[in-house]
Structure formats: structure tokens, C-alpha cells
Amino acid sequence: MKLDDNEISAALGELPGWDKVEDREAIYRIFKFEDFAEAFGFMSRVAIHAEKMDHHPEWANVYNRVEIILTTHDAGGVTLKDVQLARFINHAAA
């Protein structure tokens, strides 16, 4: 079920670094790592977890930078799955 604006704001309060995407119903965060190998290792950890969840991020990687957008296309916005994946992503980046 799609979260409303208040629920998204509350969730973002517990997800350091994440913010709302301005032009769509999604959340995002940009990560910077020491180098490409560290960024790729992070993406691999996230990919394995996302596959287990059957919930996949939209992301882009350039060298040590990884940009991630989370939304649930079937629901037309941010859901609990996005919040759970964002929580894991923060943990994987720590």
C-alpha cells in the first residue's frame, strides 16, 4: 500500500541521507565511496538483498558515486518495501 506524505516524512526522519524526489513519488539518496571497487561492492550487496526482497532500486553508478531512487511502481509511489530497502541500503553503506 502506498504511503501518504505524512508517512513518508516520518520514514525519512528515520532514514539519514534520504529525501523525497521533487517531481515524482519516490525517495532518493546519493552515496560516495573511496573508489569504484568500494561502490561496486556496495551495489553488489544491495543487489543480492533486493533480489531476495523482489524489490529493485533504480540506480546509476559513475566511478565512486551511486545514486539510488526507490519507488514501488505497482503502487504508484513509496511503500513500506521502499522504506525497508532504504534501511538496508543505509546499513550496507555503513
Let me know if residue 31 belongs to a domain.
yes
Let me know if residue 91 belongs to a domain.
no
pTM for the predicted model, two decimal places: 0.95
How many structural domains is the chain composed of?
Answer: 1
Rounded Cα–Cα distance for residues 14 and 86 (Å): 10
Let me know if residue 92 belongs to a domain.
no
Q: What is the CATH number of the domain that holds 75?
A: 3.30.1360.20
Extended strands (E) in the chain: 19-20, 27-32, 58-62, 65-70
pLDDT at 20: 98
14-69 tens-digit pLDDT:
999 999 999 999 999 999 999 999 999 999 999 999 999 999 999 999 999 999 99
Let me know if residue 94 belongs to a domain.
no
Let me know if residue 93 belongs to a domain.
no
Beta pairing class for 58-62 and 27-32: unpaired
Let me know if residue 61 belongs to a domain.
yes
Q: Which residues have C-beta within 8 Å of that of residue 69, sequence separation ≥ 6?
A: 21, 26, 27, 28, 57, 58, 59
pLDDT at 28: 99
pLDDT at 44: 98
Give the residue numbers spanning the domain of 72: 5-84
